[in-house]
Structures are given as structure tokens and as C-alpha cells.
Amino acid sequence: IVQFFGCDNGYFYIVFFPALFWAYDSNVILPKVFVNNEFYLLEAEKFSTSRGHAVWGIDFLQQFSADAARFYLAYTRPENQQTNFSQSEFERTIQHDLEGQWNSWLQEVNSRLINEYGGIIPEPGAWTDNHRNF
């Protein structure tokens, strides 16, 4: 079992909840690994639905593709330090990295596939021991 939680909930997930679970039933299997994520900020401030300082997924996905949103969220995830969501930075990153570099690279791969292999993906051939070990 792996437990994921935000840095502000560490006490609850590491101390409080396990104590409650064991008090209820000593046979409860507790997490073996804890994964703590830092804060993900919105325009350099904490998200707050009560203040309306949030990004609503349904609205965001009417403007941008789900793939672009997934890419940027994974790219800027607050794994071991606070990170920030900025719509202007999101748009710049998507335009430069996804639509620019990524699409250019894909177009190059597609051109090579057409020119060198007649548009048919070649068979990879037999795997060697090195392939299997990797």
C-alpha cells in the first residue's frame, strides 16, 4: 500500500490515521510507503475555492486539450518543492514544447518513416539478451 498526501497533511496520514486504524482493528494493513507532495500554487498563491482562486477543470478543458493539461501538470508537478501553475506559462510551454519541439520531432519521425520505409513501420527484429536484460 502506498499513501499519497500533501505536505500539510503529513501528521494525519503518518501518525493520526494509523493510530485510529490500529485502535479500530490491529489487523488493518497500513501503508508501507508514504509519498509526500509539496504545494502546487496558482499564480504564486495557494488555491482557494472559497476565494474563487482556482482553475475549474470543466472550464479549462473547454479552452485546452486534456493531453496538454496532463502534460503540463506532470511537467510542473510539485514532487519535492513548491511549484506554480500560471496560465500564461502553461500557454507558452504548450506552444513551445508541445506544439513546437514535440510536433516538429513527430513530423521528422513521420517523414523518415515515409522516406526510408515507405510509410510502413519496420519490424524491430529479434530481441537480444541485452534487450531482455535492459
Q: Which tens digits make up the pLDDT trace of 28-56? A: 999 999 988 888 999 999 989 999 999 99
- Look at residue 33 and give its three-state secondary structure: strand
* Residue type present at position 131: H
Residue 25: the pLDDT is 94
Q: 53 or 7: which carries more pLDDT confidence?
A: 53
Residue 62: the pLDDT is 96
Q: Distance between CA atoms of 38 and 61, rounded to whole angstroms? A: 24
Say how many C-beta atoms besides its own lie within 10 A of residue 68's C-beta: 20
Residue 83: the pLDDT is 94
Q: Distance between CA atoms of 19 and 12, rounded to whole angstroms? A: 10
Q: Which tens digits make up the pLDDT trace of 74-124? A: 999 888 889 999 999 999 999 988 877 888 888 899 999 999 999 998 888
Whole-prediction pTM value?
0.61
What's the mean pLDDT in 13-21?
A: 92
Residues 78, 36: contact at Cβ < 8 Å? no
